[in-house]
A and B are shown apart, each in its own frame.
Chain A
Amino acid sequence: MNIVMFLAPFSLGLGLMAVAAFWWSLKAGQYEDPEGDAARILVEDPEDRPAA
């Protein structure tokens, strides 16, 4: 039974971390431009090309 006293706070901590991560992603503007982000992977970056 004692394991509950450890597991419960542990799982809560994990949940809180998820909320914090979500809050961070919201603040960082990750939902501002979904279409642009989807399109950006199609754009070739000149620096990323393998050296010929």
Chain B
Amino acid sequence: MALTYDAARTDLGAFLSRREDGRSSLDLLVPDARCAGCMAKIEREMQALPGVAAARLNLTQKRLTVEFRAGSGDAGGVVEALARLGYPATPYDPGQARDAHDREGRQLILAMAVAGFGVMNTMMFSVPIWAGLFGQELGPATRVLMMWFSGIVGAPCALYAGMPFFRSAWRSLKARRANMDVPISIGVILTLAISFSETVLGGRDAYFDAAVSLLFLLLIGRWLEHRLRARASSAAADLLAMQAPTATLIGAGDVLTATPVDRVLPGDLLLVRPGDRLPVDGEIVSGASELDNSLLTGETAPVAVAVGQTCRAGALNLSGALRLRASARSADSALAAIARLVEMGAQSKSKYVRLADKAAAIYVPVVHTVALLTFAGGWALGLGPREALIRAVAVLIVTCPCALGLAVPAVQITASARLFRRGVLVKSGAALERLAEVDHVIFDKTGVLTLGRPRLKETAPAAIAMAAPLARASRHPLAHALAEAAGDGPLAEDVTEYPGEGVEGLVDGRRCRLGKAAFLGVQSHAAETELWFGFENDIRIRFAFVDPLRADVAETVAALRARGLSAEILSGDLPGPVERAATAAGVVQWRAGCTPTDKAAIVDDLTREGRKVLMVGDGLNDAGALAKAHAAMAPGTALEASQNAADLVFSGESLMTVVDAVDVARSARGRAMENFGLAALYNLIAAPAAMLGLVNPFVAAIAMSGSSLVVTLNALRTGARR
């Protein structure tokens, strides 16, 4: 039976978001839209479609929003039109979580705007006061007036802009812990109180501007950190949307409906087309095909499946359309066991204490003790409680934690932006810190050292040219590799695809077949991945395929070794291919036939020995190890679960990005350490000066912004080389 799966159109109605006035809209992810031309073309063509009221492409996020007129809403038509233009698109659900995240970002930006306003306007009143400090004529009445002005402007701004810190400090105090926000909140509130009392009592020291600018600088750091997280999570969401977006449900009367995978129930009948991944575990009801289990087991050879067999979610359907009876929900499928492994690993990772927190653990008690000593000591030495308190507050202000709150996020966002441009997605700042500490790298073979897709072995060009027209007409990955080797050219006519067998068609008026050995009536004699081709009553030609190593594997391993990192290969594949890959890569340590549990256990053992392991893997069989390793990277072609477990996701064909990532992470760590050094140096000068009463509001403002500027500029140097 021949099956033309392209003709069957899928209803994407489940992804339309309907509005109350009967109009509806559709959100699509268009990853290939890159330039102004793409944008103009897509928007013009979409608006020309019947029923479409408006189409707008967000080029930054590569999202297309199509608005339909009332009563219409042909989502499938839009996706097809995009595919015809050469832009494959995936519907996605802009979920609730993203909105919540955005709300937090908006609050931070608004707090930052208010703080910025506060800084500028309190400065306006502070400048005359500062001028007065240096002997210019400023009568006490005018000074007090200026102090009142700056208090009236500065205090509300500080209270509003400080809300994110106050809230977080309150939460952590309720949980009986003290985070960095507790000293910040205490400092700001104490400063405001002292400044008001000084204003009322007609004193000289009002620090309204210092309180607001401290919050402004810290908010910049907070916002940078938020941006890093938001971008990572939205990019990760995009990758996921591309991967297991939908399952195709077969309803009554063979109506096809696209459904989000998590809505598939056991017993549902599903259609899995060639080239799609199995969305859930299930039993094959009809059809025959081969499945590529390489992401599940690491094994590269395709496995033939037939009616009645049970197969696992995540396997890639290679040749024929399959009808599948779902036997488990997506959440309970074979993935779940691995997900548990991942969760356990994630818990051990959350025990990692970030650099900034380590520094804060030293910084907070020291600064508070010094401030307290200043107050107690000053009072005991006869300064009077008011002067002693002012000096204590000055200590709190000048030892501002900007190096912790601003410099580390600035370093990390610079580093991750640089990596992002090289195609590496960093999920969190902590991931970079952990990556910098790594001393041993474990590679998975399939999909990491290799490209994870077949490539034609050396074959006579004449043979390739003969089979190419038929290969171009097929969707099978092997045929695709053959067509790729042949380049552009004519297409076979009258093509019929036999699922799980091969294709048949007319080339130059002669009937020919391309497919499995049995399909061509020959006896296969090799364990290699192969494809046979032959004209009717003519000789048979054999094409062999290999999963080639990435071009720069040996270079990568050598570069890692030069950086003091040892390398190892753990694969689920057979010893033969693994040994060949290890030899080519120049890796001495390798192990074949590893189960997912084996891999995780090996990582555990190494960790117990005190090694810091970087796991680079893509398959489900790596997910446990990825989660348990000190740091983890996964290629963009990896399965959802593996990408979730990894700290960094890299794209492209080059493996050298792993080395780049390690370099940038180390450079980021170096910058962060330098910044801590600079901050410590600054505090060693500023704190004694404040204790001795040498700090007035002007000095505090200069010192604080100066130190923040220095650490931020230093942060921008991260990974600047090359």
A21 to B110, CA, bound (A): 12
B residues 337-359 near A (Cβ < 8 Å) are none
B residues 381-410 near A (Cβ < 8 Å) are none
| B59 partner, pick from A4, A16, A18, A39, beta carbons under 8 A | A39
Question: Hey, what's the 0/1 contact readout for B18-39 against A, CB within 8 Å counting as 1?
Answer: 0000000000000000011001
A13 to B368, CA, bound (A): 38
B60 at the interface (CB under 8 A from A): yes
Q: Is the CB of B120 within 8 A of A36?
A: no
Residues of A within 8 A of B142 (CB): 1
A49 at the interface (CB under 8 A from B): no
Residues of A within 8 A of B57 (CB): 36
Q: Is the CB of A35 within 8 A of B59?
A: yes
A19 to B124, CA, bound (A): 17
Question: Hey, what's the 0/1 contact readout for B121-145 against A, CB within 8 Å counting as 1?
Answer: 1001100000000000000001001
Q: Is the CB of A19 within 8 A of B113?
A: yes
Q: Is the CB of B59 within 8 A of A23?
A: no
Q: Is the CB of B117 within 8 A of A18?
A: yes
Residues of A within 8 A of B551 (CB): none
Question: Hey, what's the 0/1 contact readout for A18-47 against B, CB within 8 Å counting as 1?
Answer: 110011001000001111100110111000
B370 at the interface (CB under 8 A from A): no
Q: Is the CB of A43 within 8 A of B60?
A: no
| A43 partner, pick from B39, B106, B110, B149, beta carbons under 8 A | B39
Residues of A within 8 A of B124 (CB): 8, 11
- In whole Å, how far is B108's beta carbon from the nearest beta carbon of chain A? 11
Q: Is the CB of B106 within 8 A of A39?
A: no
Q: Is the CB of B35 within 8 A of A4?
A: no
| B110 partner, pick from A12, A23, A39, A44, beta carbons under 8 A | A23
Q: Is the CB of B60 within 8 A of A35?
A: yes
A5 to B599, CA, bound (A): 74
CB-CB under 8 A for A12 and B61, given A19-B114, A23-B113, A26-B110: no
A48 to B58, CA, bound (A): 22
Q: Is the CB of A16 within 8 A of B117?
A: yes
CB-CB under 8 A for A36 and B59, given A4-B145, A19-B117: yes
- In whole Å, how far is A27's beta carbon from the nearest beta carbon of chain B? 9
CB-CB under 8 A for A36 and B60, given A23-B110, A23-B113, A26-B109: yes
CB-CB under 8 A for A40 and B36, given A15-B121, A26-B109, A33-B59: yes
Residues of B within 8 A of A23 (CB): 110, 113
| B120 partner, pick from A15, A34, A35, A39, beta carbons under 8 A | A15
Q: Is the CB of A11 within 8 A of B39?
A: no
A4 to B128, CA, bound (A): 12
A39 to B57, CA, bound (A): 11
CB-CB under 8 A for A36 and B39, given A4-B145, A12-B121, A15-B117: yes
Question: Hey, what's the 0/1 contact readout for B573-615 against A, CB within 8 Å counting as 1?
Answer: 0000000000000000000000000000000000000000000
B40 at the interface (CB under 8 A from A): yes
A24 to B113, CA, bound (A): 12
A11 to B57, CA, bound (A): 40
Q: Is the CB of B113 within 8 A of A33?
A: no
Q: Is the CB of A26 within 8 A of B58?
A: no
Which residue of chain A is the closest to B118 with respect to CB atoms?
Answer: A15
CB-CB under 8 A for A39 and B35, given A4-B145, A33-B58, A33-B61: yes
| A39 partner, pick from B36, B109, B117, B125, beta carbons under 8 A | B36
Residues of B within 8 A of A44 (CB): 40
- In whole Å, how far is B708's beta carbon from the nearest beta carbon of chain A? 22
Residues of B within 8 A of A19 (CB): 113-114, 117
Which residue of chain A is the closest to B39 with respect to CB atoms?
Answer: A39
A43 to B35, CA, bound (A): 10
A34 to B237, CA, bound (A): 20
Which residue of chain A is the closest to B33 with respect to CB atoms?
Answer: A36
A50 to B39, CA, bound (A): 23
- In whole Å, how far is A46's beta carbon from the nearest beta carbon of chain B? 9
Residues of A within 8 A of B58 (CB): 32-33, 36
B632 at the interface (CB under 8 A from A): no
B503 at the interface (CB under 8 A from A): no
Residues of B within 8 A of A18 (CB): 117
Q: Is the CB of B110 within 8 A of A34?
A: no
- In whole Å, how far is A10's beta carbon from the nearest beta carbon of chain B? 11
Residues of B within 8 A of A32 (CB): 58, 60-61
Which residue of chain B is the closest to A31 with respect to CB atoms?
Answer: B109
Which residue of chain B is the closest to A29 with respect to CB atoms?
Answer: B58
| B121 partner, pick from A11, A34, A43, beta carbons under 8 A | A11
Which residue of chain A is the closest to B141 with respect to CB atoms?
Answer: A1
A43 to B43, CA, bound (A): 11
Residues of A within 8 A of B121 (CB): 11-12, 15
Question: Hey, what's the 0/1 contact readout for B51-89 against A, CB within 8 Å counting as 1?
Answer: 000000111110000000000000000000000000000
A41 to B499, CA, bound (A): 49
A33 to B124, CA, bound (A): 35
| A40 partner, pick from B39, B113, B145, beta carbons under 8 A | B39
Which residue of chain A is the closest to B102 with respect to CB atoms?
Answer: A32
Residues of A within 8 A of B120 (CB): 15
- In whole Å, how far is B137's beta carbon from the nearest beta carbon of chain A? 13
- In whole Å, how far is A9's beta carbon from the nearest beta carbon of chain B? 10
Which residue of chain B is the closest to A22 with respect to CB atoms?
Answer: B113
Residues of B within 8 A of A33 (CB): 58-61
A18 to B116, CA, bound (A): 10
Residues of B within 8 A of A22 (CB): 113
Residues of B within 8 A of A12 (CB): 121, 153
A–B pairs, 11, beta carbons within 8 Å: A8-B149, A11-B121, A15-B120, A23-B110, A33-B61, A36-B39, A36-B58, A36-B60, A39-B35, A43-B39, A43-B40
The 7 A-B pairs with the shortest beta carbon distances in the complex, nearest first, are A36-B59, A39-B36, A43-B40, A42-B36, A33-B58, A35-B60, A35-B59
Sample of 6 more A-B contacts, CB < 8 Å, known A11-B121, A33-B61, A39-B39: A26-B106, A32-B58, A32-B61, A33-B58, A33-B60, A35-B60
